[in-house]
Structure 1
């Protein structure tokens, strides 16, 4: 559609309403790889800035498809969207695809309206930490764990040492703080729309788009093009704002040798398998 619009005379373009679209997809985290692209402020800031800088556009459409991740990166993306919306005086329409859960839903809160598919997954307003413990395994294989610290809590929650009740309580205290921040954000952004009590909304459960609408977590059910056509008329056009990416999500240094190149590819492939498995586990929690 954008190609044909480019061929139109300038006078005809004036009748069009262009809505820039930014896609935010993936697990929210710092770093990342070509096998598991990271969704974080650094990876989306350029696309957001470009979308909100389109002067003639009355709004920005943002597609969210994320099972969550880093609460810090989630809030940073949320804040950048709201800051740009206020600075550029534009409405923000958030469209949920498969899932906007946990940190993904936190990002969705940046929308003036949240539109989901009836089968989308929304919510999961909670905080989770997970790990494994290996102290008994070390005993069985005859390995002695040696750790030297300055500070008695420096090895808190070390997976190779027996779990301590004080360490667990400290972690839960941190989780309660992060959860409270999340809850406050939901209440501020969905003020007057929430249709259930705190115990129902903020216990970490997730729901379909249909149930999310009943609970007040979603404004409407539908799809992006249908919603935007109804809102801005038949002369509305969307324009995808995509980040620039090179081969494997980046550039290979010009000075790299053939042996180094092979080792780099092998290492990337090995790490990619681990990333792919972890990524599958995160999405799998929501049946995806």
Structure 2
């Protein structure tokens, strides 16, 4: 049979019923969570703007049985974590389908916030899960300027406008303000995890101290529902469904790797430091 005859034979005959398969859509949440796109970030970034198209396609299938979140993220911006998680819940509730999250290398901090948007969470036994806490990293350059004879000139309107300026001496009241902010964000994180995981969580406050655990221990603590990977769980749960990956559309400049060089390099260094916290 010729190639042409083979192709023609696959075209449904008039009146013939085409059997449509059920679908499980997979959304990849890979990278640092940040509001900015970063062409130099090798593992990509996560934010609502970049994921909206993928989420709409994932939840838009006619015979959708479930949506799987494939998560590999060390965290990042808390607001983007919340926005993406809330959008997932909104679409899941509208469609009435379950959402299952799968942690890969790491689902920590904001990455775990995203995982909690799912109805169930699975992790590999070697996955790093948790880090339910808040962190801010910065530098102090006040002594460096003085060493090189550089005079710092900073003009503000508003007594707190220059809080935590890296080129000025650190003030105790600024540190206290930041600590208060961290406490408030931490409480929101704990509330979200408690709301989503409920009585599956172990009865211990150590869950919320910012620590991370391997997948097996995370299962014992109730942070995840079991040890497993996306392929095996989906094959067992939905053996007859077609697994379809919904990829986000990248902006043209991001596809070409074009961006503001200095800012892109700084972003890449920051992203590298977030991954390095987990040995990755």
Which residue in 1 is equivalent to 2:178?
Answer: 171
Match of 1:206 among 207, 212, 219: 212
Superposition deviation, residue 140 in structure 1? 1.1
Which residue in 2 is equivalent to 1:228?
Answer: 234
Q: 1:196 to 1:246 in 2, by over 3 A?
A: same
Match of 1:185 among 189, 192, 203: 192
Aligned 1:54-203 pairs, distance under 5 A: 54-198=61-205, 200-203=206-209
3-state SS, counterpart of residue 58 of structure 1? strand
Q: 1:251 to 1:136 in 2, by over 3 A?
A: closer
Separation of aligned partners in 2, 1:232 and 1:152:
59
Which residue in 2 is equivalent to 1:243?
Answer: 248
Separation of aligned partners in 1, 2:17 and 2:103:
35
Q: 1:174 to 1:246 in 2, by over 3 A?
A: closer
| 2:33–2:45 contact (8 Å) kept in structure 1 | yes
| 2:71–2:106 contact (8 Å) kept in structure 1 | yes
Give ranges in structure 1 of 5+ residues lacking alignment: 1-6, 253-263
| 2:52–2:248 contact (8 Å) kept in structure 1 | no
Give ranges in structure 2 of 5+ residues lacking alignment: 1-9
| 2:50–2:249 contact (8 Å) kept in structure 1 | no
Note the alpha carbon deviations across 1:231-281, whole angstroms, 9 max, x for none.
122x222011112336552579xxxxxxxxxxx77x53x554433332221
Note the alpha carbon deviations across 1:128-164, whole angstroms, 9 max, x for none.
0110111111111111111121111111111111111
Note the alpha carbon deviations across 1:71-125, whole angstroms, 9 max, x for none.
0000000100001111110100111111110001000001110011111111000
3-state SS, counterpart of residue 149 of structure 1? coil
Separation of aligned partners in 2, 1:159 and 1:17:
55
Separation of aligned partners in 1, 2:276 and 2:46:
18
| Superposition misfits of 4+ residues, deviation over 6 angstroms | none
TM-score (norm 2): 0.89
Which residue in 1 is equivalent to 2:5?
Answer: none
1:286 and 2:278 matched: yes
1:42 and 2:49 matched: yes
| 2:140–2:166 contact (8 Å) kept in structure 1 | yes
Separation of aligned partners in 2, 1:197 and 1:230:
32
| 2:104–2:124 contact (8 Å) kept in structure 1 | yes
3-state SS, counterpart of residue 176 of structure 2? helix
RMSD across aligned positions (CA): 2.0
TM-score (norm 1): 0.87
